[in-house]
Amino acid sequence: MSRTWLHILLLAVCCLQGQAQLRLNGKDIIRDDLAEQWLCTVPDSVFGTDYETIVTLLPESGWTDIRVDGVTVADGQSIWFAQLDGTTPHSLTAHVGDSTVSGTLLFSCLPLLEVNATLSENYQPATFRLYHPDSITPLALQGRIKWRGRTTMMAGRHKHNFHFKLEDEHGAKLNKRLLGLRDDNSWLLDAGQTDLSRIRNHVAHELWLDMAAKPYYSDLEPKARAACRGELIELFVNGQYEGIYTLMEAMDRKQLKLAKYETDSTGTNIIHGQLWKAIDYSKGTTFTGYGDYDNTSTTWLGFETKYPELEEVSPTDYSVLYDAVNLAVTCYDSKWRRVAQDYYDLPVMRDYYILLQVLLAIDNTNKNIYWAVYDKQVDKKITLAVWDLDCTVGQDWTNYPFRPENRVGPEHKMSIANNVLGRLNLLITDFHDDLVSHYQELRKGVLHTDSITQRYLDHIDCLIHAGAAARESARWDGDSDLGGHSLDWEAEKAYIADWLKRRLRYLDMNIFAPAAIDIIADDTANVTTGTYNLMGQRMSDDRPLPPGFYVRNGKKMIKY
């Protein structure tokens, strides 16, 4: 049987399985067989109001004697929900022949996504129904889906990530703009599997887009994005509620707007833009060692080629990446200072160093990075894009042991195991000075303690407000993904707020402190962050000077 006919058959079966029994104001209510509840998405504007809904009973459902909160309702009748919210349960019962169905009716103001498929680590046919709070009719789609992520597939892990691709009825790629994101066929569903906030990766991508320098070729491609945008949703898979997910764009050539390869008149493929993903810890991805490469292989020293794929262009070409790694390993210091800017996108590297330190991104110094060249035929400079930033802001990749201070504590001195970033910071004075001054500038805006903290808290509050947080807790509390811990949303908000306050104070005083402070009077010194006396007390709030500063000849405080 062809894949097209498989799609058609699966679509018919899944439509019967997931068919709604009734609608509220024209909207399907989605059944969660696991918790015996139904969920309906509505606009956020109706939360907190007395909400009137019109019931539409679908004849094929066979439902009779329908009752909501004990009140019998009929087709076309109104139901009023007083002060509608996302957490108040409403009882729903009905008769189907001689049987009774019962459960809880709940409301959300987040988009809902239904997926039906036989799941595995390989792409399988699937159907999708995306419900938007502001729309009546769901967007019905089909395509293929698989589990993704090596770590998230480990034993004892349950809330999986997904990658799905949309197709038309003939099995061809189908581009769709989902939830206001990009127009594409390739999409990700991020679970926040071990993250007790479920939003760290989502927020970190947003933060990077707001704070990072544009790629070096942005004059040619102003729409290039070095991170993936996303929207928070609630996911159902095969009739079961799977919880809070981020529907995300994919990181690929299209996201970074890299130049496409071309085929000349002789049939020879000419590579222009290239994209690689650092998938392992290795001497290659740390830029500390190199070796011969094989252009017929999908990988080299921990890097995986992502564009062009070998299925499209073979052989590939690792020479640009090889040269960038080789330079970091072998180049003597004086030459490094002269030529580094020709090989690496320095403003982006600067901002990535800041991001790593601010978020304490322990899993992103060499692994979980995308490296790219816009057009190797013109310029072999490489830039980077962020990826998989869930192990940030005090969150470890495991919850056992739980958040060890010596790895994810806010005062932990992070070792950035990336030879490019290390050599840039240590050997190029202009880079280091720019790093410090740019950090201090960002601290006035996007990295201001109040601003970055509120960014995280707002997303968690959104989940609480929608009722999704309570449903997530009911689904996943105590799971081995969480090391047996519960999802305590208010406690997590307090933890994140305290962690960021302490982390930024630590960075201000240690990692990004000015290297020299001019004496402006007999007993005071002026720095960007305030005025201090020589006893090391800040005159405005008595904050101590960073360790490692001392007075030389009574004229300057110099970093030791």
Going from the first residue of the chain to its last (560 residues), give the mean pLDDT of each consecutive group of 10, the final group possibly shorter: 44 46 94 96 98 92 92 94 98 93 97 97 97 97 92 77 97 97 98 97 98 98 98 98 98 98 93 97 96 98 97 96 97 95 98 98 96 97 98 94 95 93 93 94 97 98 98 96 96 98 96 63 43 39 41 35
- In a 10 Å sphere around its CB, with 0-12 CB exposed, 13-18 middle and 19+ buried, how is residue 71 labelled? exposed
Output the pLDDT for position 152. Answer: 67
Round to whole Å and give the CA distance between 250 and 181. Answer: 11
Rounded alpha-carbon distances, angstroms, from residue 517 to 438, 524, 545: 17, 10, 11
Output the pLDDT for position 535. Answer: 37
Report yes or no: 142 and 131 within 8 Å, Cβ to Cβ: no
Residue range 3-42+44-108 in CATH 2.60.40: yes
Output the pLDDT for position 515. Answer: 58
Instruction: Return the domain boundaries, the chain.
Output: 3-42+44-108, 116-254, 516-559
Output the pLDDT for position 461. Answer: 98
Output the pLDDT for position 523. Answer: 40
The answer to whether the peptide bond before residue 111 is cis (omega within 30 degrees of 0) is no
Output the pLDDT for position 539. Answer: 37
The one-character DSSP state at 537 is: B
Q: Which residues are within 8 A (CB) of 274 and not within 5 positions of it... i.e. 6 or more apart?
A: 258, 305, 307, 308, 316, 317, 320, 321, 372, 373, 376
Report yes or no: 524 and 539 within 8 Å, Cβ to Cβ: yes
Output the pLDDT for position 231. Answer: 98
R_g of the chain, CA atoms, integer Å: 27
The full length of the chain comes to 560
Q: For residue 326, how far is the Cα from the chain centroid?
A: 31
Q: What predicted TM-score, i.e. pTM, was given to this entire model?
A: 0.89
Output the pLDDT for position 522. Answer: 40
Output the pLDDT for position 543. Answer: 40
